[in-house]
Amino acid sequence: MEYLDEIRISKGTESGIDIEVRLGENWKEAASKFPIERVDQIFSAHKDLARLLGLDVNFRTSPEYGLMGIDFSPDRAGLDLMPGQYSYLSHNIDNSKQAIVAVAVITDYLKILEAAS
């Protein structure tokens, strides 16, 4: 994929799971064209998957950066965009269900950016 350099998933400290998604070059230009007003529609299948797994997932967006983050409530877990580092980093992800949904959303998001450019 054009906008993905690498995905790293590893056992974190204590019982957590660390996820790092390294973005490729020019991702920001493509992200600024992402239709943020349709984010819930675009990721409706991911929301359905999360519900089937017993999770509540929400998405944060911005006009400049597209998908800013993925939040699992009430766990205060998720994946956040670190624009200066060209990456998404996880926080408080403590089970494989959260990791599966987060990685699925990010990889599909990057595929959408690629298809739209």
The span from the CA of 50 to the CA of 53, in Å, is 5
pLDDT for the residue 85:
92
Is a pLDDT exceeding 80 seen at residue 23? yes
Describe the crossing of helices 96-116 and 44-52 by its angle, rounded to 10 degrees: 170
Whether the predicted pLDDT of 60 surpasses 90: yes
Give this prediction's pTM: 0.92
Q: What is the pLDDT of residue 87?
A: 97
Element (H, E) at 38: none
Give the pLDDT of residue 74. 82
- Cβ 99 vs Cβ 93: under 8 Å: yes
116: confidence class by pLDDT, cuts 50, 70, 90:
confident
